[in-house]
């Protein structure tokens, strides 16, 4: 997953992060272990993954929300769609009733993938942070079971 995450960073359209975490402990901090998914090719190569949805809050009543990060090589072969469907199923099994994602508006393929899987755009967060000295907006997407 590290190489996929780094490839996403390199596009400038996947995350505000500019480097992958240095070690597993940093990567794993605050993440849920019950919804980790990886899609592999027939020869075992990692194609895509939703490595660790994380809790958005420590408050007990709100623990059934999760923000997810998915990444992969956009091959057009349906891997991302299959992975998203598996994430939704895993989240439901874990009792997560809301999935959220923050996506750059320019990342049209990721937005389309989310919309195909029942997410909706809640709104645009303007100038939420800078990436390489440029203020960037994000769209907040959400999928709810309730």
Specify the pTM: 0.81
Indicate the DSSP class of residue 31.
Answer: B
The CATH number of the domain holding residue 37 is 3.40.630.30
Q: Decide: 114 and 121 in contact? Cβ < 8 Å.
A: no
Candidate from 12-26, 45-59, 67-81 with smallest mean pLDDT? 45-59
Q: Output the pLDDT for position 98.
A: 86
Q: What is the average pLDDT across 42-64?
A: 63
Q: Which domain holds residue 120?
A: 2-144
What is the spatial distance between Cα 17 and Cα 130, in angstroms, rounded to a whole number?
10
Average pLDDT, the chain: 81
Q: Residues 86-138: pLDDT tens digits?
A: 888 888 888 888 888 889 999 998 899 999 999 999 999 999 999 999 999 99
Number of domains in the chain: 1
């Amino acid at each position: 997953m590290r190489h996929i995450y780094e490839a996403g960073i390199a596009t400038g359209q996947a995350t505000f992060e500019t480097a992958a975490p240095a070690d597993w402990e940093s990567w794993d901090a605050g993440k849920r272990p019950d919804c980790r998914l990886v899609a592999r090719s027939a020869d075992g190569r990692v194609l895509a993954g939703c490595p660790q949805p994380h809790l958005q809050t420590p408050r007990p009543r709100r623990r059934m929300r999760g923000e997810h990060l998915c990444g992969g090589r956009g091959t057009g072969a349906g891997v991302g769609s299959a992975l998203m469907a598996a994430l939704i199923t895993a989240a439901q099994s874990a009792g997560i009733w809301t999935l959220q994602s923050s996506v750059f508006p320019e990342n049209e393929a990721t937005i389309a993938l989310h919309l195909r899987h029942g997410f909706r755009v809640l709104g645009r967060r303007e100038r939420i942070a800078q990436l390489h000295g440029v203020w960037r907006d994000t769209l907040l997407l959400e999928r709810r079971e309730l």
